[in-house]
Amino acid sequence: MAQFSNCARHNKWTRAERLAYLRNSLSGEAANILWYYSKEETESLSGLMKILESRFGGQAVSDKHRIELRNRRRRKNETLQTLHSDVRPLAALAYPDAPPKTREVISCDYFLEAIGDPGLALKIRER
């Protein structure tokens, strides 16, 4: 949604253009919304955005990502870089309202927990 809003602002789309481009850009489960809901709800920009937010955004999605983050563990032969690249975006999705510095602390804690090697985690903390 952030990318869509950025694109709409840059291109100076009207509300009608925003609705047309948004409806056209939906795919997968999000595109099915056009079938599941009434035309009154999906043929207005605010209605469609409200449906998308309730289905794919908000607290439920944050909770889902928090659970994924809590359960994320380093896989066999997975590099620390790959693990780190996985944990950071999960933390951003799990804690979208947290300030960046707070989210960085949270990411580090979950990263060190996900390593699964207390000795290595301690060495990383020391550095």
pLDDT surpassing 90 at residue 11: yes
The confidence score (pLDDT) of residue 100 equals 92
Confidence category of residue 127, pLDDT binned at 50, 70, 90: confident
Q: Is 110 exposed, middle or buried (0-12, 13-18, 19+ CB in 10 A)?
A: buried
pTM of the model: 0.60
Task: In whole angstroms, give the CA distance from residue 52 to residue 61.
Answer: 12
For the segment 24-81, what is each residue's pLDDT rounded down to a tens digit?
999 998 899 999 999 888 999 999 998 988 887 767 788 889 999 999 999 999 999 9
The dihedral through the CA atoms of 25, 27, 32, 33 has a sign that is: negative
